[in-house]
Amino acid sequence: MKCAVSHNCGGCLGPHLSYRDHLAQKQREMEALLGRFCPVAPILGMEDPYHYRNKSIATFAQDRSGKLVSGIYAQGTHRVIPVEDCCLQMEVLNRTQAAVLSAARRCRLPAYQEDRGQGLLRHCVVRCDSQGQKALVTLVTPSSYFPGSRNFCKELTRLAPWVAGVVQSINPRATSAVLGKTFKTLWGKPFLEDTLLGLRFTLSSGSFYQVNPRQTRRLYETALDFAALDGTQTVLDAYCGIGTIGLSAAPRAGEVSGVELNPAAARDAAANARRNGAENARFYQGDATAWMEEQARRGPSPQVVILDPPRASTTSRFISAVQDMGPDRVVYVSCGPQTLARDLEGFAAAGYRPVKCQPVDMFPFTPHTEVVVLLEREKGSAPARRRRPSSGQAPAPL
Ligand code: SAH
């Protein structure tokens, strides 16, 4: 596929590469990293590896003539290259970003200038549902000040009637995180609704959601297959986001409990449980390690632990808490195979043997690979059952 900006855009490795070669390279990398632990199954690639992303992030700037532009930073710089037609993003996202730019130009909204600390628009994050029918627009500004926001929303929704909501995210900090911690609804609904594996999910602007819906289905099916649920087990879903894995597991489990640090995502997870009638699922807000340690103290022990931590991975204390609980199976979903390899050593020392590993190409034409690993408790290795005093009150589900 041809891309007009791939020679200097830092968004991907370039869609002109042969996808087959690229997949073969990812397979070799996964075997080199993980092959010493267990067999690595052939990577699940995409039949059509284009227009897969359901989330687009654009940065605003002003060109030399002062005209507002939006796009992606050039590789290794803070120079914005206008991107009109990204072939990794779903088409509705490209159309929505174009509409946001037109509406912002028409309303004469200025870009934020990092060096001077002046201006308004920093980034625009657009998410869409798996069908590409609805979009949620989040505009990042340095403060809550947003003159003309009402006119902007009117103009945007005229140009892009598929926009379901416009949210402002306030991020005064100059960090690599795009979104700030405070959100304000400017127009419409401050969330997006989507369907995945027959379940309905609501997600807020700041909640994590897998970016490749076509492959997410295969990722979750692999995780559930590895979990080997028979309708009776207690399942813990750690780093659960909006509860997608836990709620997919719920119909085949006895009980599901999930934990998530981001308060909005944890609330989304609890609401998603109610909306899907999953009476056997409960969600908690908190740090996964602290929560696991508390679960290990209080019992009863789960039979299956599923974890899907961020790229920086989990903690050695989390692994010790798993050892204390002694589930039969651990299903580790990882977007950071390097940190995963380190954790697999920790799990092996805790009596959990990696049995099989399935790479899934969630991010074609980027260097990233997602992996699901099944670990089983070694026969004869009993749960450690170290008794530690409880920290006080039992955590309350949302
Ligand atoms: N399983 C979910 C989310 C995976 S992404 C899905 O498939 O959609 C990892 C999630 O871990 C994010 O939602 C992030 O907010 C959360 N997270 C990050 N650090 C955490 C911590 N210390 N404790 C609990 N959750 C954490």
The residue ranges of the chain whose pLDDT is under 50 are: none
- pLDDT, tens digit (0-9, with 9 covering 90-100), for 15-69: 777 999 999 999 999 999 999 999 999 999 999 999 999 999 999 999 989 999 9
**Helix axes 19-34 and 337-349, enclosed angle (nearest 10):** 30
pLDDT at 391: 64
Strands laid side by side in the 182-188 sheet: 80-82, 68-73, 55-62, 123-128, 135-141, 163-170, 182-188
DSSP 139: E
Which helix (DSSP H) or strand (DSSP E) does residue 163 occupy?
strand 163-170
Indicate if ligand 1 lies below 6 Å from the C-beta of 261: yes
Ligand 1 pocket mutation pick from 130, 220, 261 by most atoms within 8 angstroms of CB: 261
pLDDT at 243: 98
- What's the topology of domain 19-48+212-377? Rossmann fold (3.40.50)
Closest CA to 238 of 178, 169, 319: 319
pLDDT at 395: 82
According to DSSP, the residues that pair with 374 across neighbouring strands are: 331, 356
User: Cα–Cα distances in Å, from 388 out to 112, 297, 324, 345?
Assistant: 51, 6, 10, 24
Q: Which residue CA neighbors atom 21 of ligand 1 most closely?
A: 287
Q: Which of 3, 107, 124, 335 is catalytic?
A: 335
Domain 53-190 has CATH 3.50.50.60: no
pLDDT at 388: 62
Distance from residue 267's CA to the centre of ligand 1 (Å): 13
Closest CA to 377 of 309, 322, 334, 339: 322
Distance from residue 107's CA to the centre of ligand 1 (Å): 37
Closest CA to 365 of 44, 83, 9, 11: 11
Distance from residue 398's CA to the centre of ligand 1 (Å): 16
Strands laid side by side in the 234-238 sheet: 281-285, 255-260, 234-238, 304-307, 329-334, 370-377, 352-360
Answering whether pTM is above 0.85, one says yes
pLDDT at 385: 61
Question: How far is Cα 327 from Cα 227, in angstroms, rounded to an integer?
Answer: 11
Q: Which residue CA neighbors atom 10 of ligand 1 most closely?
A: 239
Question: How far is Cα 280 from Cα 250, in angstroms, rounded to an integer?
Answer: 7
According to DSSP, the residues that pair with 101 across neighbouring strands are: none
Alpha-carbon dihedral angle through residues 30, 12, 75, 99, given to the nearest 10 degrees: -150
Question: How far is Cα 111 from Cα 94, in angstroms, rounded to an integer?
Answer: 19
Q: Which residue CA neighbors atom 22 of ligand 1 most closely?
A: 287
Question: How far is Cα 258 from Cα 266, in angstroms, rounded to an integer?
Answer: 9
Domain ranges of the chain: 19-48+212-377, 53-190
pLDDT at 382: 66
- pLDDT, tens digit (0-9, with 9 covering 90-100), for 215-270: 999 999 999 999 999 999 999 999 999 999 999 999 999 999 999 999 999 999 99
Indicate if ligand 1 lies below 6 Å from the C-beta of 240: yes
According to DSSP, the residues that pair with 63 across neighbouring strands are: none
Closest CA to 280 of 306, 307, 258: 258
User: Cα–Cα distances in Å, from 175 out to 10, 85, 172, 196, 261?
Assistant: 18, 27, 9, 32, 20
Q: Count, in order, helices (H) and strands (E) of the chain.
A: 9, 16
Whether the bond into 383 is cis, omega within 30 of 0: no
Q: Check if 335 is active-site.
A: yes
Indicate if ligand 1 lies below 6 Å from the C-beta of 210: yes
